[in-house]
Structure 1
């Protein structure tokens, strides 16, 4: 067996009580990510390629200028936005996005200085080395570690029949020389940290932090313990919550609880194997997890130390109750009623949710009668 046996969820979970949903902003076009500047200003990406500003609960009608051109078809476009931990000193923000065409595209990371209206001195600091075809599985979330390095999730490239090098592209997740289907760890300028797990391995790209991932769209850090958590999409079920550790193999597609879209047959006959890490949770019925937050605020005391995962198909936010050792001991649902693309804890200790719709919303989750 792997490190631990997963909690399998194949039914509805109880509804969370004592919460209120307040729409902060509406009219966003397929928003993907939200981040805060030190002064409380919010940055929101829209997948077609716009970066928006929300100040004092109001959406600025003018998008931020000098945003890189993105390839925005299907699942591709402008995705994550992340603020450098020392933004007050360097004014740097980071964007993940898809670049190229339907025939040849890849995930990129760019950084730029934000002057309040425009991006300045934009640089591409990282990209997937192999161009791919299609419009699926780009990732991509950014998390900053305590040492100032960044983790970035990169998707496996897509479902069958998409191929790369004469084989199904999803198999690149097990190829340590490939950046597809990985979490990579970078310095803030895109260079390789000297203590990455495969930095001295001849059979691996030195940026690789963990591998065997399908399409991670939720990534978060417990700042107290340093635990890194990720949610990734399965195929026709088999969505996963994983506890990420440096150098580990998370199995995809060698191991999976998922089924093929075309036939409904299992993708693998194996779900666990020595040397590969079992998920902490498997959602046997698809929730399509996107956005993941670790809660350490004080507005919901009972939620402290828990995870909150958005669901595109489930159209809710799942509270994942963790004990002190990081074991999953329960789940609850906060119904949103729209596809949830991102979940974040705000500086005010409340949860914020983005809905992935043509007219998407930014929603704040508050205690009832706050």
Structure 2
């Protein structure tokens, strides 16, 4: 016979246990071992469900996108106080869609431009767009759309998107939309590509496919799956990217103009039903091999080269957030080759959605669930 009193009591009991554990966890020091010593996680703020994008502004301010809600949130780094920014263009928030990357112009203190990538549309058709605007108090003003990816498509999956600015150029990624993976190999769309435009949306005349018939002139490279990491090497200023593989085969790539990185023709992973991707090949002439790949997949999020002095032993290392294997991935590179890998925060059990270096020289991570932490050496 069913005990009708059990369920309410159980829910109350486990709810109290969960609340106690959460409060205890927030108050206690989160300390983890690394090869270079102990690391403490200092919580900055919490309750941002999916902190996809993160960047820093003057006066101890941080901007965070909440992919789940489409919100752009300003965080005070001293107090942890959150302010939801008004006037932000509406996002289509479903599955992979929502508020994606956020990026200040390198000359932000002169021009005030903030770049905001997000999915737009509705359940019938959606795509990725990039807007820019200027922060005025707690509002985003003077917004203008400088890019919209083609085509719109119903699936709410694989939008990318990460952005970097190099000189006057904005580089950004776009995913293959999952169902349209073959589009990553054709030039008449933006899917599975890296793009380059001027920071005001104009198309550079020296882009590699500007004069190619039926090609989208913004394309810089092709053959990508779902790139959610993009950064510049601090010394060479070369463009580095990582992208999700299917089941295995997450890739780290050094991006050069006009090159084809192979997806879905070559891949170091397999499909989710354990069948091969395409012909199941990993190499083909005219297609680039990754600098490094992960099998099994770590589900990489964002990435950054560390250049600060607070964690001197990590200077020059590449840090990648890992979601499926819940850790912070540290890569040591020598002459564009990965010579060592360390997996930090493995015992944390949180999906590291974004990793950035702050102006104070510390690394910051955002985790799904979702809190922002500062990494400090002990």
> TM-score under structure 1 normalisation?
0.89
Out of 133, 143, 146, the position equivalent to 1:112 is: 133
Equivalent residue number for residue 253 of structure 2: 242
The CA RMSD measured in Å over matched residues stands at: 1.4
Determine which structure has greater relative contact order: mean sequence separation of CA pairs < 8 Å that are 6+ residues apart, divided by chain length. Answer: 1
Counting matched residue pairs gives: 341
SS in 2 for 1:171: helix
Using the alignment, how far apart are the partners of 2:341 and 2:77 within structure 1?
A: 33
SS in 2 for 1:32: strand
Contact 1:298/1:349 (8 A) holds in 2: yes
Using the alignment, how far apart are the partners of 2:240 and 2:376 within structure 1?
A: 24
Alignment of 1:196-215 (within 5 A): 196-215=207-226
The Cα shift of 1:61 comes to 4.1
Out of 92, 112, 121, the position equivalent to 2:142 is: 121
Out of 119, 122, 133, the position equivalent to 1:98 is: 119
Equivalent residue number for residue 29 of structure 1: 49
More helix, by proportion: 2
Alignment of 1:252-267 (within 5 A): 252-261=263-272, 263-267=273-277
Using the alignment, how far apart are the partners of 2:42 and 2:363 within structure 1?
A: 11
The Cα shift of 1:255 comes to 0.5
Post-superposition Cα deviations, 1:19-66, rounded to whole Å, max 9, x if no partner, equal 222211111121111101133311011111111111133343430100
Equivalent residue number for residue 23 of structure 2: none
The Cα shift of 1:306 comes to 1.2
The Cα shift of 1:15 comes to 4.9
**Deviates further, 70-79 or 194-203:** 194-203
Using the alignment, how far apart are the partners of 1:203 and 1:226 within structure 2?
A: 30
Contact 1:85/1:148 (8 A) holds in 2: no
Contact 1:291/1:341 (8 A) holds in 2: yes
Equivalent residue number for residue 332 of structure 1: 342
Using the alignment, how far apart are the partners of 2:102 and 2:83 within structure 1?
A: 18
Equivalent residue number for residue 8 of structure 1: none
Equivalent residue number for residue 223 of structure 1: 234
> TM-score under structure 2 normalisation?
0.87
The Cα shift of 1:302 comes to 2.0
Using the alignment, how far apart are the partners of 2:209 and 2:202 within structure 1?
A: 14
Q: Which has the larger radius of gyration?
A: 2
SS in 2 for 1:88: helix
Q: Which structure 1 residue ranges, 5 or more long, are not aligned?
A: 1-13, 163-168
